[in-house]
Structure 1
Amino acid sequence: MSSTPVTVRRIALVAPVLLLLYGILRFADGLDGDRGNGPLWTIGHLAFFVGMVLFGWLMLALRGMVPQPGRLAAIATVTGLAGVLCFLWVIAGDLSDGFREAAPLPAALEFVGPMLFPVGMLTLFGLLVAARRLPVWTPLLFGAAITAITVNLNLLPFAALAVLAALSPLRRLTQPRPGLTAARN
Protein backbone atom coordinates (compact mmCIF):
# COMPACT_ATOMS: atom_id res chain seq x y z
CA MET A 1 0.00 0.00 0.00
CA SER A 2 1.31 3.39 -0.89
CA SER A 3 0.26 6.39 1.16
CA THR A 4 1.13 9.94 0.34
CA PRO A 5 3.17 11.89 2.88
CA VAL A 6 0.21 14.20 3.50
CA THR A 7 -2.04 11.23 4.26
CA VAL A 8 0.47 9.75 6.72
CA ARG A 9 0.91 13.11 8.45
CA ARG A 10 -2.86 13.52 8.79
CA ILE A 11 -3.39 10.00 10.08
CA ALA A 12 -0.53 10.40 12.58
CA LEU A 13 -2.41 13.43 13.93
CA VAL A 14 -6.06 12.40 13.63
CA ALA A 15 -5.84 8.82 14.97
CA PRO A 16 -4.41 9.81 18.39
CA VAL A 17 -6.73 12.85 18.56
CA LEU A 18 -9.70 10.50 18.12
CA LEU A 19 -8.24 8.31 20.88
CA LEU A 20 -7.99 11.43 23.06
CA LEU A 21 -11.60 12.33 22.26
CA TYR A 22 -12.68 8.83 23.27
CA GLY A 23 -10.75 9.12 26.53
CA ILE A 24 -12.26 12.50 27.37
CA LEU A 25 -15.81 11.42 26.50
CA ARG A 26 -15.35 8.19 28.45
CA PHE A 27 -14.27 10.22 31.48
CA ALA A 28 -17.16 12.70 31.08
CA ASP A 29 -19.65 9.86 30.64
CA GLY A 30 -18.59 8.38 33.96
CA LEU A 31 -18.93 11.60 35.98
CA ASP A 32 -22.49 10.70 36.96
CA GLY A 33 -21.31 7.34 38.30
CA ASP A 34 -22.81 5.41 35.39
CA ARG A 35 -20.76 4.72 32.29
CA GLY A 36 -22.39 3.52 29.11
CA ASN A 37 -25.32 3.63 26.72
CA GLY A 38 -25.64 7.39 26.41
CA PRO A 39 -24.64 9.93 23.76
CA LEU A 40 -21.15 10.48 25.21
CA TRP A 41 -20.57 6.73 25.29
CA THR A 42 -21.73 6.32 21.70
CA ILE A 43 -19.82 9.30 20.28
CA GLY A 44 -16.70 8.27 22.17
CA HIS A 45 -16.86 4.71 20.90
CA LEU A 46 -17.45 5.90 17.33
CA ALA A 47 -14.36 8.11 17.64
CA PHE A 48 -12.42 5.13 19.01
CA PHE A 49 -13.64 2.94 16.12
CA VAL A 50 -12.58 5.44 13.45
CA GLY A 51 -9.29 6.02 15.27
CA MET A 52 -8.51 2.31 15.21
CA VAL A 53 -9.32 2.11 11.49
CA LEU A 54 -6.84 4.95 10.98
CA PHE A 55 -4.22 3.18 13.11
CA GLY A 56 -4.61 0.17 10.82
CA TRP A 57 -4.09 2.37 7.79
CA LEU A 58 -1.06 3.95 9.47
CA MET A 59 0.38 0.51 10.12
CA LEU A 60 0.19 -0.30 6.41
CA ALA A 61 1.94 2.99 5.64
CA LEU A 62 4.66 2.26 8.21
CA ARG A 63 5.37 -1.09 6.58
CA GLY A 64 5.88 0.76 3.32
CA MET A 65 8.41 3.07 5.00
CA VAL A 66 10.60 0.21 6.21
CA PRO A 67 13.61 0.01 3.88
CA GLN A 68 13.66 -3.44 2.32
CA PRO A 69 10.66 -4.75 4.25
CA GLY A 70 11.00 -8.48 4.74
CA ARG A 71 9.19 -11.17 6.62
CA LEU A 72 9.46 -9.44 10.00
CA ALA A 73 7.76 -6.30 8.65
CA ALA A 74 5.05 -8.44 7.03
CA ILE A 75 4.49 -10.47 10.21
CA ALA A 76 4.40 -7.27 12.32
CA THR A 77 1.85 -5.72 9.96
CA VAL A 78 -0.40 -8.78 9.93
CA THR A 79 -0.11 -9.12 13.72
CA GLY A 80 -0.93 -5.45 14.27
CA LEU A 81 -3.85 -5.52 11.86
CA ALA A 82 -5.23 -8.60 13.64
CA GLY A 83 -5.11 -6.55 16.84
CA VAL A 84 -6.89 -3.66 15.15
CA LEU A 85 -9.62 -6.05 13.98
CA CYS A 86 -10.02 -7.38 17.53
CA PHE A 87 -10.35 -3.81 18.83
CA LEU A 88 -12.97 -3.06 16.16
CA TRP A 89 -14.85 -6.23 17.11
CA VAL A 90 -14.87 -5.26 20.79
CA ILE A 91 -15.93 -1.67 20.01
CA ALA A 92 -18.73 -2.89 17.73
CA GLY A 93 -19.90 -5.14 20.58
CA ASP A 94 -19.83 -2.19 22.98
CA LEU A 95 -21.94 -0.17 20.56
CA SER A 96 -24.41 -2.94 19.75
CA ASP A 97 -25.71 -5.54 22.19
CA GLY A 98 -27.12 -7.40 19.18
CA PHE A 99 -23.69 -7.63 17.54
CA ARG A 100 -22.06 -8.74 20.80
CA GLU A 101 -24.69 -11.47 21.26
CA ALA A 102 -24.65 -12.60 17.62
CA ALA A 103 -20.86 -12.57 17.21
CA PRO A 104 -19.08 -12.60 20.55
CA LEU A 105 -15.31 -12.27 20.43
CA PRO A 106 -13.82 -15.63 21.40
CA ALA A 107 -12.72 -15.56 25.04
CA ALA A 108 -9.08 -16.25 24.12
CA LEU A 109 -9.01 -13.08 22.02
CA GLU A 110 -10.68 -10.72 24.49
CA PHE A 111 -7.39 -9.60 26.07
CA VAL A 112 -4.70 -11.08 23.84
CA GLY A 113 -6.31 -10.05 20.55
CA PRO A 114 -6.23 -6.27 21.03
CA MET A 115 -2.68 -6.51 22.42
CA LEU A 116 -1.55 -7.70 18.99
CA PHE A 117 -2.01 -4.11 17.79
CA PRO A 118 0.77 -2.57 19.91
CA VAL A 119 3.02 -5.59 19.32
CA GLY A 120 2.79 -5.04 15.56
CA MET A 121 3.14 -1.28 15.85
CA LEU A 122 6.14 -1.50 18.19
CA THR A 123 7.86 -3.97 15.87
CA LEU A 124 7.39 -1.66 12.89
CA PHE A 125 8.65 1.27 14.96
CA GLY A 126 11.67 -0.83 15.94
CA LEU A 127 12.43 -1.58 12.29
CA LEU A 128 12.20 2.13 11.47
CA VAL A 129 14.44 3.00 14.43
CA ALA A 130 16.99 0.41 13.23
CA ALA A 131 16.85 2.03 9.79
CA ARG A 132 17.41 5.43 11.45
CA ARG A 133 14.10 6.73 10.15
CA LEU A 134 12.54 7.24 13.59
CA PRO A 135 14.04 8.28 16.92
CA VAL A 136 14.39 5.63 19.61
CA TRP A 137 11.94 7.50 21.85
CA THR A 138 9.05 6.87 19.42
CA PRO A 139 8.55 3.20 20.36
CA LEU A 140 9.44 3.91 23.98
CA LEU A 141 6.78 6.61 24.31
CA PHE A 142 4.22 4.57 22.40
CA GLY A 143 4.95 1.54 24.61
CA ALA A 144 4.62 3.64 27.76
CA ALA A 145 1.23 4.92 26.55
CA ILE A 146 -0.03 1.40 25.86
CA THR A 147 1.24 0.26 29.26
CA ALA A 148 -0.62 3.14 30.95
CA ILE A 149 -3.88 2.18 29.23
CA THR A 150 -3.38 -1.46 30.19
CA VAL A 151 -2.76 -0.55 33.84
CA ASN A 152 -5.70 1.86 34.14
CA LEU A 153 -8.14 2.74 31.37
CA ASN A 154 -8.79 6.08 33.09
CA LEU A 155 -5.28 7.12 31.94
CA LEU A 156 -6.50 7.02 28.35
CA PRO A 157 -6.48 10.81 27.75
CA PHE A 158 -2.88 11.08 28.96
CA ALA A 159 -1.89 8.00 26.98
CA ALA A 160 -3.49 9.46 23.84
CA LEU A 161 -1.36 12.59 24.26
CA ALA A 162 1.71 10.36 24.61
CA VAL A 163 0.74 8.52 21.40
CA LEU A 164 0.30 11.88 19.67
CA ALA A 165 3.81 12.86 20.77
CA ALA A 166 5.21 9.45 19.81
CA LEU A 167 3.83 9.81 16.28
CA SER A 168 5.07 13.39 15.85
CA PRO A 169 8.30 12.31 14.07
CA LEU A 170 6.14 10.83 11.29
CA ARG A 171 5.14 14.38 10.40
CA ARG A 172 8.80 15.17 9.67
CA LEU A 173 9.74 11.75 8.32
CA THR A 174 7.30 12.00 5.44
CA GLN A 175 7.93 15.64 4.52
CA PRO A 176 10.07 16.17 1.43
CA ARG A 177 13.46 17.66 2.11
CA PRO A 178 13.60 21.28 0.85
CA GLY A 179 16.88 20.86 -1.03
CA LEU A 180 15.82 17.73 -2.93
CA THR A 181 13.07 19.41 -4.94
CA ALA A 182 15.32 22.26 -6.07
CA ALA A 183 18.18 19.88 -6.90
CA ARG A 184 15.97 17.79 -9.21
CA ASN A 185 14.87 20.77 -11.31
Structure 2
Amino acid sequence: MAVYGLVRLMDTERGPGPAWSIGHLFLLAGVLLFVPVLLGLRRLVARQGETQRAVGTGAAALGLVGVAALAVQAGIDLLVAYVSADHEAMRELFARIQGVPGVMPVIYTVVPLLFYVGLLVLLGQLAVLRVISAWRPLAVVAGAVAMTATLDLLPVAALLFLLALAPLGRRVPVGKAGPLRSAGWGTAGG
Protein backbone atom coordinates (compact mmCIF):
# COMPACT_ATOMS: atom_id res chain seq x y z
CA MET A 1 0.00 0.00 0.00
CA ALA A 2 2.95 2.29 0.66
CA VAL A 3 4.15 1.70 -2.90
CA TYR A 4 0.72 2.71 -4.22
CA GLY A 5 0.90 5.87 -2.13
CA LEU A 6 4.37 6.73 -3.42
CA VAL A 7 3.45 6.04 -7.06
CA ARG A 8 0.31 8.13 -6.60
CA LEU A 9 2.38 11.05 -5.33
CA MET A 10 4.62 10.85 -8.43
CA ASP A 11 1.68 10.53 -10.88
CA THR A 12 0.88 14.16 -11.71
CA GLU A 13 -1.63 13.19 -14.43
CA ARG A 14 -3.72 10.83 -12.23
CA GLY A 15 -4.27 8.40 -15.08
CA PRO A 16 -4.61 6.80 -17.49
CA GLY A 17 -1.11 5.57 -17.97
CA PRO A 18 1.58 3.32 -16.56
CA ALA A 19 1.83 5.10 -13.20
CA TRP A 20 -1.93 4.79 -12.61
CA SER A 21 -1.92 1.09 -13.55
CA ILE A 22 1.21 0.20 -11.58
CA GLY A 23 -0.02 2.09 -8.53
CA HIS A 24 -3.43 0.45 -8.62
CA LEU A 25 -1.92 -3.02 -9.07
CA PHE A 26 0.08 -2.40 -5.89
CA LEU A 27 -3.08 -1.11 -4.19
CA LEU A 28 -4.95 -4.27 -5.17
CA ALA A 29 -2.10 -6.46 -3.93
CA GLY A 30 -1.86 -4.49 -0.68
CA VAL A 31 -5.58 -4.79 -0.04
CA LEU A 32 -5.59 -8.53 -0.77
CA LEU A 33 -2.64 -9.07 1.58
CA PHE A 34 -4.91 -7.99 4.41
CA VAL A 35 -6.96 -11.19 3.97
CA PRO A 36 -4.36 -13.36 5.77
CA VAL A 37 -3.78 -10.55 8.28
CA LEU A 38 -7.46 -10.45 9.24
CA LEU A 39 -7.67 -14.25 9.39
CA GLY A 40 -4.49 -14.43 11.47
CA LEU A 41 -5.79 -11.83 13.93
CA ARG A 42 -9.07 -13.75 14.14
CA ARG A 43 -7.12 -16.91 15.07
CA LEU A 44 -5.25 -15.02 17.80
CA VAL A 45 -8.51 -13.69 19.19
CA ALA A 46 -10.20 -17.11 18.99
CA ARG A 47 -7.53 -18.57 21.28
CA GLN A 48 -8.74 -16.28 24.05
CA GLY A 49 -12.14 -17.95 24.56
CA GLU A 50 -15.57 -18.60 23.07
CA THR A 51 -16.95 -15.08 23.47
CA GLN A 52 -13.84 -13.60 21.95
CA ARG A 53 -14.02 -16.15 19.13
CA ALA A 54 -17.55 -15.02 18.22
CA VAL A 55 -16.69 -11.32 18.27
CA GLY A 56 -13.44 -11.97 16.42
CA THR A 57 -15.19 -13.98 13.73
CA GLY A 58 -17.72 -11.19 13.22
CA ALA A 59 -14.98 -8.56 13.11
CA ALA A 60 -12.95 -10.60 10.62
CA ALA A 61 -16.06 -11.05 8.45
CA LEU A 62 -16.67 -7.28 8.46
CA GLY A 63 -13.03 -6.67 7.58
CA LEU A 64 -13.16 -9.17 4.72
CA VAL A 65 -16.30 -7.55 3.30
CA GLY A 66 -14.45 -4.22 3.39
CA VAL A 67 -11.43 -5.81 1.67
CA ALA A 68 -13.73 -7.14 -1.06
CA ALA A 69 -15.20 -3.66 -1.65
CA LEU A 70 -11.72 -2.11 -1.78
CA ALA A 71 -10.55 -4.81 -4.20
CA VAL A 72 -13.52 -4.17 -6.49
CA GLN A 73 -12.79 -0.44 -6.27
CA ALA A 74 -9.17 -1.02 -7.35
CA GLY A 75 -10.37 -3.31 -10.14
CA ILE A 76 -12.79 -0.68 -11.42
CA ASP A 77 -10.02 1.93 -11.33
CA LEU A 78 -7.76 -0.36 -13.37
CA LEU A 79 -10.47 -1.20 -15.89
CA VAL A 80 -11.56 2.42 -16.34
CA ALA A 81 -7.97 3.49 -17.00
CA TYR A 82 -7.46 0.61 -19.42
CA VAL A 83 -10.46 1.50 -21.60
CA SER A 84 -10.06 5.29 -21.43
CA ALA A 85 -8.04 7.32 -23.90
CA ASP A 86 -7.46 10.26 -21.57
CA HIS A 87 -8.31 11.77 -18.19
CA GLU A 88 -11.57 13.29 -19.47
CA ALA A 89 -12.77 9.89 -20.72
CA MET A 90 -11.87 8.40 -17.32
CA ARG A 91 -13.85 11.08 -15.51
CA GLU A 92 -16.91 10.46 -17.69
CA LEU A 93 -16.75 6.69 -17.22
CA PHE A 94 -16.28 7.02 -13.44
CA ALA A 95 -19.32 9.33 -13.33
CA ARG A 96 -21.42 6.74 -15.17
CA ILE A 97 -20.25 3.87 -12.94
CA GLN A 98 -20.63 5.82 -9.71
CA GLY A 99 -24.02 7.08 -10.87
CA VAL A 100 -25.46 3.57 -10.74
CA PRO A 101 -27.65 3.39 -7.62
CA GLY A 102 -25.84 1.69 -4.73
CA VAL A 103 -22.37 1.76 -6.27
CA MET A 104 -21.10 4.72 -4.24
CA PRO A 105 -21.98 3.33 -0.78
CA VAL A 106 -21.16 -0.30 -1.59
CA ILE A 107 -17.90 0.18 -3.48
CA TYR A 108 -16.60 3.63 -2.54
CA THR A 109 -17.88 5.14 0.70
CA VAL A 110 -19.60 2.93 3.30
CA VAL A 111 -18.70 -0.74 2.81
CA PRO A 112 -14.93 -0.16 2.39
CA LEU A 113 -14.93 1.34 5.90
CA LEU A 114 -15.82 -2.11 7.24
CA PHE A 115 -12.21 -3.12 6.57
CA TYR A 116 -11.00 -0.58 9.13
CA VAL A 117 -13.79 -1.44 11.57
CA GLY A 118 -12.98 -5.15 11.43
CA LEU A 119 -9.23 -4.59 11.78
CA LEU A 120 -9.70 -2.18 14.65
CA VAL A 121 -12.13 -4.45 16.52
CA LEU A 122 -9.72 -7.37 16.24
CA LEU A 123 -6.76 -5.34 17.47
CA GLY A 124 -8.93 -3.68 20.11
CA GLN A 125 -9.98 -7.08 21.44
CA LEU A 126 -6.38 -8.19 21.69
CA ALA A 127 -5.45 -4.95 23.46
CA VAL A 128 -8.34 -5.18 25.95
CA LEU A 129 -7.34 -8.77 26.70
CA ARG A 130 -3.77 -7.49 27.23
CA VAL A 131 -2.42 -9.76 24.53
CA ILE A 132 -0.97 -6.75 22.70
CA SER A 133 -0.16 -3.21 23.74
CA ALA A 134 -2.81 -0.52 23.42
CA TRP A 135 -0.65 1.57 21.08
CA ARG A 136 -1.11 -0.96 18.27
CA PRO A 137 -4.82 -0.28 17.59
CA LEU A 138 -4.10 3.42 18.09
CA ALA A 139 -1.50 3.23 15.31
CA VAL A 140 -4.16 1.77 13.01
CA VAL A 141 -6.58 4.57 13.97
CA ALA A 142 -3.87 7.16 13.23
CA GLY A 143 -3.21 5.51 9.85
CA ALA A 144 -6.89 5.45 8.94
CA VAL A 145 -7.28 9.10 9.97
CA ALA A 146 -4.23 10.04 7.88
CA MET A 147 -5.70 8.33 4.79
CA THR A 148 -9.08 9.95 5.40
CA ALA A 149 -7.47 13.39 5.60
CA THR A 150 -5.71 12.97 2.26
CA LEU A 151 -4.53 10.06 0.14
CA ASP A 152 -1.20 11.90 -0.07
CA LEU A 153 -0.56 10.53 3.44
CA LEU A 154 -1.02 6.93 2.32
CA PRO A 155 2.70 6.07 2.69
CA VAL A 156 2.61 7.36 6.28
CA ALA A 157 -0.57 5.41 6.96
CA ALA A 158 1.01 2.25 5.53
CA LEU A 159 3.98 2.65 7.88
CA LEU A 160 1.64 3.05 10.85
CA PHE A 161 -0.19 -0.13 9.82
CA LEU A 162 3.14 -1.91 9.47
CA LEU A 163 4.16 -0.83 12.96
CA ALA A 164 0.87 -2.05 14.39
CA LEU A 165 1.03 -5.43 12.64
CA ALA A 166 4.77 -6.13 12.23
CA PRO A 167 5.13 -9.04 14.71
CA LEU A 168 2.18 -10.99 13.29
CA GLY A 169 4.35 -13.15 11.05
CA ARG A 170 7.19 -13.82 13.49
CA ARG A 171 7.55 -17.35 14.81
CA VAL A 172 9.11 -17.52 18.26
CA PRO A 173 9.26 -20.59 20.50
CA VAL A 174 6.74 -20.53 23.33
CA GLY A 175 8.33 -19.49 26.59
CA LYS A 176 6.99 -18.76 30.07
CA ALA A 177 5.16 -15.67 28.85
CA GLY A 178 3.21 -17.60 26.21
CA PRO A 179 3.36 -17.55 22.43
CA LEU A 180 2.21 -13.97 21.88
CA ARG A 181 4.21 -12.27 24.60
CA SER A 182 7.32 -14.21 23.54
CA ALA A 183 6.89 -12.83 20.02
CA GLY A 184 6.90 -9.24 21.20
CA TRP A 185 3.13 -8.81 21.36
CA GLY A 186 2.99 -8.55 25.14
CA THR A 187 2.11 -5.42 27.03
CA ALA A 188 5.55 -4.84 28.48
CA GLY A 189 7.51 -4.49 25.27
CA GLY A 190 5.10 -5.11 22.40
Query: Shorter-chain-normalised TM-score: which range?
Result: 0.7 to 0.9
Tell me what 1:20 maps to.
2
The structure that is helix-richer by fraction is 1
Structure 1 residue 70 displacement after superposition: 2.8
Please list every run of 5 or more consecutive structure 2 residues that lacks an aligned counterpart in the other structure.
Answer: 84-92, 179-190
How many angstroms apart in 1 are the aligned matches of 2:14 and 2:97? 23
Tell me what 1:147 maps to.
145
Q: Does 2:65 correspond to 1:85?
A: no
Amino acid of the structure 2 residue aligned with 1:71: A
Larger gyration radius, structure 1 or structure 2:
2
Query: Retained in 2: the 8 A contact 1:134–1:169?
Result: no
How many angstroms apart in 1 are the aligned matches of 2:23 and 2:135? 29
Does 1 or 2 have the higher relative contact order (CA < 8 Å, sep 6+)?
A: 1
Amino acid of the structure 2 residue aligned with 1:37: P
Tell me what 2:36 maps to.
57
Tell me what 1:40 maps to.
19
Structure 1 residue 178 displacement after superposition: 6.0
Among residues 111, 114, 132, which one is paired with 2:112 in the alignment? 114
Amino acid of the structure 1 residue aligned with 2:21: T
Please list every run of 5 or more consecutive structure 1 residues that lacks an aligned counterpart in the other structure.
Answer: 1-18, 181-185
How many angstroms apart in 1 are the aligned matches of 2:60 and 2:169? 20
Q: Does 2:142 correspond to 1:159?
A: no
How many angstroms apart in 2 are the aligned matches of 1:168 and 1:48? 19
Amino acid of the structure 2 residue aligned with 1:88: A
Query: Retained in 2: the 8 A contact 1:135–1:169?
Result: no
Q: Which of 149-158 and 128-137 deviates more?
A: 128-137
Q: Which of 162-171 and 76-85 deviates more?
A: 162-171
How many angstroms apart in 2 are the aligned matches of 1:89 and 1:139? 26
CA RMSD of aligned residues (A): 2.4
Q: TM-score, normalised by structure 1?
A: 0.77
Structure 1 residue 38 displacement after superposition: 1.3
Q: 1:29 to 1:102 in 2, by over 3 A?
A: closer
Amino acid of the structure 1 residue aligned with 2:62: T
Query: Retained in 1: the 8 A contact 2:66–2:111?
Result: yes
Deviations 1:100-120 (A, max 9, x none): 778967222221111110100
Q: How does 1:162-177 map to 2 (within 5 A)?
A: 162-171=160-169, 174-177=171-174
How many angstroms apart in 2 are the aligned matches of 1:46 and 1:75? 29
Q: TM-score, normalised by structure 2?
A: 0.75
